[in-house]
């Protein structure tokens, strides 16, 4: 009888907590760690290093504790020098899941006045031609589907003028339709520029308004949004359920330098507390230009692991 009473009390408590979970977004943080998505990594963090030993790099990533992978373009071309299926198998062999892949929205162009990146030898880095959605959207969708990726993500797209913004939205809509037919989810990743006015219009707002919320999800790079003066939680509430993916990184006090998560000024707990409102399914730690990539991603992982535990 004692066991029965105990069970009923526990069941009642669970029922009440279920109601609270529906009513309060902050209650999302009450879920046990097993219910949170495992920390993921955006491989661009290791750009220039991973190419030296792709299998070894992935093994190190897995040993740190990462489970989910988001890939990007590499100096080896293709998918780190491989076809989609071969790269997917390599990840699987390391116990990693290939959740997402970044592609460019249009042909890559160096910013005005920028110099080509150089390697450790001081010579310009040679990068094979990179496919983009404007010219190759169907091919990129087909490759992602071949590799079994869950999400295809537009990493950036031209937004310098209102005409460029409208043209980019057209490309996003075409790609979203093709991705849906291929059984993929499509998303858009922001920097801070999307939140700055262009000809009197905020590009990000126009993207949200002129794309289908069912076929184009958003990957919110939280640090870039914060740098632009945006409150991510307010954005989540305005567009509930649309932010399936997040990028998680940190910034210094001046919002100029990208740091390991937990080493800067961004407080991530309120954002994770609002994860249910956002619709977040996966998040990927990223540190653009990481000075010591393997050490940096371990520091970030440890912080996030503590935060979510």
> Is 15 domain-assigned?
no
Q: Which two tokens stand for residue 234?
A: 């307010």
Helical segments of the chain, H only: 2-23, 54-64, 84-93, 133-147, 162-181, 203-209, 222-227, 232-238, 269-273, 275-278, 293-308
Q: Residue 206: give the domain boundaries.
A: 34-107+124-308
Count the neighbouring beta carbons within 10 Å of the beta carbon of residue 128: 12
> Is 6 domain-assigned?
no
Q: Which two tokens stand for residue 78?
A: 């293709």
For residue 231, give the DSSP letter: -
- Which of 110, 63, 68, 71 is CA-nearest to residue 92? 68
> Is 199 domain-assigned?
yes
Q: Which of the residue ranges 1-15, 113-127, 153-167 would you say has the lowest mean pLDDT?
A: 1-15
- Reduced to 3 states, what is the DSSP secondary structure of residue 39? coil
> Backbone phi, then psi, for 159, in 5-degree steps?
-140, 25
Average pLDDT score over residue span 51-58: 97
Tell me how far CA of residue 9 lies from CA of 2, 6, 12, 45, in angstroms.
11, 5, 5, 48
Which residues share a beta bridge with 185?
Answer: 151
pLDDT band at 215 (very low <50, low <70, confident <90, very high): very high
CATH classification at residue 268: 3.20.20.150
Alpha-carbon distance of 259 to 81, in angstroms, equals: 29
The per-residue pLDDT of the chain, averaged, comes to 89
Alpha-carbon distance of 287 to 214, in angstroms, equals: 29
Percentage of the chain beyond pLDDT 70 is: 84
Whole-number pLDDT of residue 129? 86
pLDDT band at 9 (very low <50, low <70, confident <90, very high): very low
Whole-number pLDDT of residue 251? 98
pLDDT band at 140 (very low <50, low <70, confident <90, very high): very high
> Is 41 domain-assigned?
yes
pLDDT band at 23 (very low <50, low <70, confident <90, very high): very low
Give the residue with greater pLDDT, 13 vs 272. Answer: 272
> Is 280 domain-assigned?
yes
Count the neighbouring beta carbons within 10 Å of the beta carbon of residue 57: 19
Please say if the pLDDT value at position 121 is more than 90: no
pLDDT band at 111 (very low <50, low <70, confident <90, very high): low
> Is 206 domain-assigned?
yes
Residues 6+ apart with CB under 8 A from 288: 44, 45, 249, 258
> Is 209 domain-assigned?
yes
Angle between helices 133-147 and 162-181 (to 10 degrees): 30
pLDDT band at 35 (very low <50, low <70, confident <90, very high): low
Give the residue with greater pLDDT, 35 vs 86. Answer: 86
- Per the structure, how many domains does the chain have? 1
Average pLDDT score over residue span 148-172: 98
> Is 20 domain-assigned?
no
Give the residue with greater pLDDT, 17 vs 151. Answer: 151
Q: Which is it for strands 250-251 and 245-248: parallel, antiparallel or unpaired?
A: unpaired
Please say if the pLDDT value at position 115 is more than 80: no
- Which of 29, 22, 35, 18 is CA-nearest to residue 272? 29
- For the stretch 236-245, pLDDT in tens is 999 999 999 9
């Amino acid at each position: 009888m004692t066991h029965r009473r105990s069970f009923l009390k526990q069941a009642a408590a669970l029922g009440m907590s279920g109601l609270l979970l529906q009513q309060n977004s902050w209650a999302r943080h009450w879920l046990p760690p097993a219910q949170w998505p495992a920390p993921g990594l955006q491989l661009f963090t290791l750009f220039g290093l991973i190419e030296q030993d792709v299998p070894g790099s992935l093994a190190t990533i897995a040993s740190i504790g990462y489970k989910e992978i988001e890939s990007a373009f590499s100096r080896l071309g293709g998918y780190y020098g491989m076809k989609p299926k071969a790269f997917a198998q390599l990840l699987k062999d390391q116990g990693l899941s290939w959740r997402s892949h970044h592609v460019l929205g249009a042909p890559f162009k160096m910013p005005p006045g920028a110099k080509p990146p150089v390697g450790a030898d001081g010579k310009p880095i040679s990068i094979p031609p990179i496919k983009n959605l404007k010219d190759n959207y169907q091919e990129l969708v087909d490759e992602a589907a071949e590799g079994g990726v869950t999400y295809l993500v537009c990493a950036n797209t031209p937004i310098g003028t209102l005409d460029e913004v409208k043209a980019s939205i057209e490309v996003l809509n075409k790609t979203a339709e093709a991705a849906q037919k291929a059984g993929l989810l499509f998303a858009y990743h922001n920097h801070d520029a999307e939140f700055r006015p262009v000809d009197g219009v905020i590009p990000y707002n126009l993207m949200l308004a002129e794309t289908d919320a069912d076929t184009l999800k958003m990957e919110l790079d939280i640090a870039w949004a914060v740098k632009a003066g945006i409150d991510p939680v307010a954005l989540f509430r305005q567009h509930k359920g649309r932010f399936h993916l997040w990028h998680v990184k940190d910034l210094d006090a001046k919002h100029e330098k990208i740091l390991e998560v937990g080493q800067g000024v961004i407080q991530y707990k309120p954002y994770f507390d609002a994860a249910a409102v956002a619709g977040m399914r996966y998040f990927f730690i990223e540190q653009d230009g990481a000075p010591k990539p393997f050490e940096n991603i371990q520091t970030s992982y440890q912080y996030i692991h503590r935060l979510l535990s």
